[in-house]
C-alpha cells in the first residue's frame, strides 16, 4: 500500500501537466473561432505542453522497476497494474483528444485530409522529441524559454540510439492515437467527447 501511495504525488503532477494541452484545446479550438495574436500565443503554449500528455507512457520504466522489486503478486495484479493503467490511459487520452479537437477545428476550416495528416505527423514527431528530451535529459516544457541553448546543444548531433528511440516513440504515438481515433468515432466515444469538450 505504501508503494501505491508513494506513486500518487508524481503521478498527480504528471497528470496535471498532461491536462494542460487538453484544457487549452477547449478555448483554442472552438468551432468557428478565428485566430488572433492572443490565439497564436495560446497555440504555441499548447504545442509546447503537448508532449507532457503522452510523456506518461515513458513512466513505464517505474512500473517495471516496481514490479521487479515487489514480491507481492496480489499488489501487482490489483494495485500497480490498475494504478498505472489508469495513469497511462488518462495521460494518453489527453494527448489524443487534444489532437482530435485540433483536427476537428481544422476540418471545419476546410483543411483537406492530407493536410490534417501532415499536421498530425508533425505533432507526433515534435512530441517524440519532447518525450525524449524530458526522459533522457530531464528537460521540461518551460525550458524552451528558460534554457533554449541547452536544448539546442542536445538535439544538434543525434546518436543512432537516440534516433531509434525517437522512431519507436513516434510509432507508439501514431499507433495509439490511431486506435483512439477509431474509439472516438464510436457512438460511446462521440458521447464522451461531447460531454468533455462540447
C-alpha distances in angstroms, 173 versus 53, 120, 170? 11, 10, 5
Q: Report the chain's C-alpha Rg in angstroms.
A: 18
Of 181, 168, 165, which is closest to residue 113 (Cα–Cα)? 181
What local confidence, expressed as pLDDT, does residue 174 receive?
94
Q: What domain count does the chain have? A: 1
Cell of 168: 519507436
**C-alpha–C-alpha distance, residues 142 and 139, integer Å:** 8
44-76 tens-digit pLDDT = 999 999 999 999 999 999 999 999 999 899 999
> Residue 124: CB partners within 8 Å, gap ≥ 6?
170, 173, 174, 177
Q: What global pTM score does this model have? A: 0.85
Residues in the chain where the model's pLDDT stays below 50: 197
Cell of 118: 501532415
Write out the residue range of the structural domain in which residue 119 sits: 2-197
Amino acid at each position: 500500500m505504501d508503494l501505491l501511495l508513494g506513486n500518487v504525488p508524481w503521478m498527480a503532477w504528471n497528470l496535471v501537466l498532461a491536462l494542460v494541452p487538453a484544457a487549452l484545446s477547449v478555448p483554442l479550438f472552438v468551432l468557428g473561432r478565428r485566430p488572433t495574436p492572443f490565439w497564436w500565443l495560446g497555440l504555441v503554449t499548447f504545442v509546447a505542453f503537448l508532449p507532457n500528455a503522452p510523456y506518461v507512457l515513458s513512466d513505464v520504466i517505474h512500473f517495471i522497476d516496481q514490479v521487479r522489486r515487489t514480491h507481492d503478486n496480489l499488489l501487482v495484479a490489483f494495485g500497480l497494474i490498475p494504478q498505472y493503467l489508469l495513469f497511462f490511459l488518462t495521460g494518453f487520452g489527453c494527448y489524443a483528444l487534444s489532437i482530435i479537437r485540433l483536427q476537428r477545428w481544422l476540418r471545419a476550416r476546410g483543411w483537406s485530409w492530407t493536410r490534417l495528416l501532415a499536421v498530425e505527423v508533425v505533432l507526433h514527431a515534435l512530441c517524440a522529441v519532447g518525450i525524449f528530451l524530458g526522459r533522457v535529459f530531464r528537460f521540461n516544457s518551460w525550458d524552451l524559454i528558460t534554457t533554449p541553448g541547452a536544448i539546442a546543444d542536445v538535439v544538434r548531433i543525434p546518436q543512432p540510439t537516440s534516433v531509434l528511440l525517437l522512431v519507436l516513440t513516434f510509432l507508439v504515438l501514431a499507433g495509439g492515437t490511431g486506435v483512439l481515433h477509431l474509439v472516438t468515432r464510436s457512438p460511446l466515444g462521440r458521447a464522451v467527447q461531447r460531454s468533455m469538450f462540447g
